[in-house]
């Protein structure tokens, strides 16, 4: 009688062949690799075997891995918590994942034909290997909200696994290690992981050169948008926004003109979650910011050949366009240097307090109609007693929706909201429809004032329109979050201050 685990082993091999991760000639080798990870001494070819439905590879892979994980957990080969299972199934996927040399050679071969053909293949490959867990990404909630700045993209991230108490305790008690130094280091490629560091055995990266330095291209395992890529320095060096940064951004879009690329700022509060490792993020996606219109053109003396303008955007953004990349880079560098030292007390812009620098830039580069284009979002991380998290940071009244730092992706108009909102918004809908007091439930009391503020805007709220209302109102909060991050507000007074800075260049 065929054991069910034998069928799952065969299924995983068939999956690998179907997705071209392995060839038919590697069937026996890959089977034995899987048996080793599963701690199985024997294997029998399943009787009356039927190849599983692989029309949706992501869904098929999830079922195959669930079957193998269940068997391994029952036999004590792996613990049954989510982190342990993620570490274990990554080992399984490594059994059918090609070596880095093949992946890089294949990418280079396709790139010679077309950069897009190369990234198309690599993106699919990253999903087929389960480095991008497509069956989890599908759970993310996504919608668009119309605002005065155009449609904003709203997402509630559900793809990062929640840590259960057992896993948290195990991670706390795990031996500390400084290898790899961070989640972006090149040493993650092929790393088996541990309770406090994700497995990367199925991870493959592509080497590229930017401004003469060694970088690697990879995709984010959480893909917040189409082909969400990360480009990281070969060396573990900190983020730095300078002329070299702009050169690297333009080198990247020269290599991959169908992609957008940007960098988080290099200061706390207004920077990303990893400031210790130089990296960029981009992808094959048109962000809301890219569709924003220029509301005020200006010219910088000595750079008349480069078009410059202020965007209609909640953050304070200057857009530069030009056919000569070096001239665009020179002007971007001039604006950065000027902004670093710029103080306007009337607008509460201080370059330094007690010697601490506050001004920096979040840059985003793209090709548009054969022109080099860069958006420069002006950032300032000053804090006060009233705003200890930052004056240009989401204010307290918006923390019920978003209190985390506003990084590159949010700057471009895509909200990454916490997973807690899925259950909280569902409970809010119930309370609103039934006329119950939102403040009476501690799980959603933080949303009470928000609900009281927007309910009067609607003549009728019922089961037919409640979902749309909650999505729209959540999106409106995100627009206010971005407005809080803007150093010059989109008001007559704010735009006047913005033009003062532009005029000072």
Taking the CA of residue 284 as centre, how many other CA atoms within 13 Å lie in the half-sphere pointing to its CB?
14
Structure tokens at 396: 């307290």
Q: Read off the pLDDT of residues 49-89 as tens digits, 9 standing for 90 and up.
A: 999 999 999 999 999 999 999 999 999 999 999 999 999 99
3-class secondary-structure state, position 271: strand
- Whether the upstream peptide bond of residue 364 has omega within 30° of 0, thus cis, is no
Confidence band for 1, pLDDT divided at 50, 70 and 90: very low
pLDDT digits (tens, 9 = 90+) for 444-497: 999 999 999 999 999 999 999 999 999 999 999 999 999 999 999 999 999 999
The alpha-carbon radius of gyration of the chain (Å, integer) is: 25
d(CA 377, CA 495): 14
Q: What is the pLDDT of residues 396-430, one digit of tens each?
A: 999 999 988 899 999 999 999 999 999 999 999 99
* Beta bridge partners of residue 295, listed in sequence order: none
% the chain with pLDDT above 70: 96
- Partners of 364 in beta bridges: 262, 375
Q: How do residues 115-152 score in pLDDT, each as one tens digit? A: 999 999 999 999 999 999 999 999 999 999 999 999 99
Q: How far apart are CA 250 and CA 261, in angstroms?
A: 9
Q: Return all residues near 414 (Cβ < 8 A) that are at least 6 apart.
A: 152, 153, 154, 155, 224, 225, 287, 288
pLDDT at 47: 86
C-alpha count within 13 angstroms, C-beta hemisphere, residue 257: 8
Q: Are 153 and 414 contacting, i.e. CB atoms less than 8 angstroms apart? A: yes
Helix locations, 202-324, DSSP H: 243-255
Q: Give me the residues paired with residue 141 across strands.
A: 156
Are the CB atoms for 240 and 232 separated by under 8 Å?
no
Three-state SS string over 413-443 comes to CEEEECCHHHHHHHHHHHHHHHCCCHHHCCC
Summarised one tens digit per residue, pLDDT across range 273-289 is 788 999 999 999 999 99
Give the side-chain half-sphere CA count within 13 A for 22.
21
Contact (Cβ atoms closer than 8 angstroms) between residue 312 and residue 149: yes
Are 467 and 434 contacting, i.e. CB atoms less than 8 angstroms apart? no
Give the C-alpha separation, 155 to 285, whole Å.
15
Weakest mean pLDDT among 91-105, 154-168, 465-479: 154-168
Q: From CA 219, how far away is CA 21, in angstroms rounded?
A: 17
Per-residue model confidence (pLDDT) at position 168:
47
Q: Which residues pair with 91 in a beta bridge?
A: none
Query: CB neighbours of 110 closer than 8 A, spacing ≥ 6?
Result: 117, 118, 121
In the chain, the N- to C-terminal Cα span, in Å, equals 79
Angle at the Cα of 219 (from 88 to 191), degrees rounded to 5? Answer: 35
Strands 356-357 and 352-353: what pairing? antiparallel
Residue of 233, 262, 259, 240 whose CA lies nearest to 249:
262
pTM across the whole model: 0.93
């Amino acid at each position: 009688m065929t054991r069910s685990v034998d069928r799952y082993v065969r299924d995983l091999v068939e999956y690998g062949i179907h997705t071209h991760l392995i060839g038919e000639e590697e069937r026996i080798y890959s089977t034995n690799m899987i048996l080793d990870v599963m701690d199985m001494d024997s294997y029998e070819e399943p009787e009356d075997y039927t190849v599983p439905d692989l029309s949706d590879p992501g869904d098929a892979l999830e079922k195959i891995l669930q079957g193998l994980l269940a068997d391994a957990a029952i036999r004590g080969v792996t613990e049954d918590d989510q982190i342990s299972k993620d570490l274990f199934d990554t080992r399984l996927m490594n059994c059918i994942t090609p070596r880095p040399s093949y992946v890089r050679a294949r990418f280079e071969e396709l790139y010679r034909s077309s950069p897009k053909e190369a990234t198309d293949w690599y993106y699919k490959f990253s999903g087929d290997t389960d480095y991008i867990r497509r069956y989890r990404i599908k759970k993310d909630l996504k919608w668009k909200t119309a605002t005065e700045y155009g449609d904003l993209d709203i997402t509630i991230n559900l793809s990062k696994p929640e840590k259960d108490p057992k896993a948290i305790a195990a991670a706390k008690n795990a031996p500390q290690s400084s290898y790899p130094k961070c989640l972006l280091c090149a040493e993650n490629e092929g790393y088996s992981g541990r309770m406090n560091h994700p497995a990367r055995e199925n991870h493959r990266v592509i080497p590229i050169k930017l401004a003469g330095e060694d970088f690697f291209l990879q995709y984010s395992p959480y893909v917040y948008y189409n082909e969400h890529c990360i480009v990281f320095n070969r060396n573990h060096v900190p983020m730095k926004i300078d002329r070299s940064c702009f050169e690297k951004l333009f080198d990247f879009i020269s290599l991959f003109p169908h992609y957008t690329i940007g960098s988080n700022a290099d200061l706390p509060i207004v920077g990303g979650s990893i400031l210790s490792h130089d990296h960029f993020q981009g992808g094959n996606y048109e962000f809301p910011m890219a569709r924003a219109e220029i509301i005020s053109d200006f010219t910088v003396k000595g750079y008349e050949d480069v078009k410059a303008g202020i965007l209609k955007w909640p953050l304070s953004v200057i857009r530069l366009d030009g056919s000569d990349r070096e001239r665009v880079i020179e002007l971007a560098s001039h604006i950065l240097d000027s902004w670093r030292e710029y103080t306007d007390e009337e607008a509460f812009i201080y370059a330094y307090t007690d010697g601490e620098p506050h001004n920096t830039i979040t840059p985003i580069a793209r090709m548009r109609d054969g022109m080099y284009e860069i958006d420069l979002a002006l950032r300032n991380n000053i804090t006060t007693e009233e705003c200890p998290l930052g004056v240009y940071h989401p204010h307290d009244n918006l923390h019920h929706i978003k209190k985390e730092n506003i990084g590159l992706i949010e700057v471009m108009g895509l909200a990454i909201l916490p997973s807690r909102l899925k259950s909280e918004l569902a409970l809010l809908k119930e309370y609103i429809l039934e006329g119950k007091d939102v403040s009476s439930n501690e799980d959603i009391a933080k949303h009470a004032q928000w609900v009281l503020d927007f309910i009067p805007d609607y003549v009728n709220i019922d089961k037919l329109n409640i979902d749309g209302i909650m999505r729209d109102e959540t999106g409106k909060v995100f627009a206010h979050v971005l407005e809080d991050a803007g150093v010059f507000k989109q008001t007559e007074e704010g735009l006047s201050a913005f033009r003062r800075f532009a005029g000072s260049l």
